[in-house]
Structure 1
Amino acid sequence: MAAALGRDPASGDLFVSKNRKGNRLKVLAWAGDGFALYLRRLERGTFAFPAAGGVGVVVTPAAQLAMILGGLDPAAARSRKRYARPDPANPRTV
């Protein structure tokens, strides 16, 4: 199974796929003693799923997946400036 997915399913990663219309998402997750499959179907509209490159794999952070499931378009979202701790190894950030 890990060879087919390209990653280790027991690592905590979620594997998400969508249908051609874009109104259904399937999420495959390891639940500790087996797999859990979740399906989310929209009555109207489509999910704003990021386009995959030639490989067909898109790695997204959990916050971006939550936005997609919540009906938001991550490409249209604007991130706000946040404080970042300066890195002493990189003098350009100090």
Structure 2
Amino acid sequence: MTSLRATTDVLRSTLARAQEERGQRPDLVDGPDGPECEWAAYERARMHETVNAIRAERLLPAAPVEDIIRAEQLAVGHSDYSRKFAFYCAELGEK
């Protein structure tokens, strides 16, 4: 069984790769709470895909995007946002 730490590391890497592409997504798009930066929606989508890939490997049902949004909202405003977002998403891969 994969540890929570290892799952967090996988998700942190996913997020870091997505963050490297921020410059390629400068537009505003519709988000869960109204207009948002396109790069934010992209990063959330990559995390959602990765969480569900992890869940599928563990024979768990897919997590709804609302779970990813909640994980992201818990991390927003923290100086270690990326680490917290990855950790909260990793917890979703566990249950």
Give the TM-score range, shorter chain: under 0.3
**Higher RCO (CA-CA < 8 Å; seq separation 6+):** 2
- Name which one, 1 or 2, has greater alpha-carbon Rg: 1
TM (normalized to structure 1)?
Answer: 0.26
Query: By percentage of residues, which structure has more strand?
Result: 1
Query: By percentage of residues, which structure has more helix?
Result: 2
TM (normalized to structure 2)?
Answer: 0.26
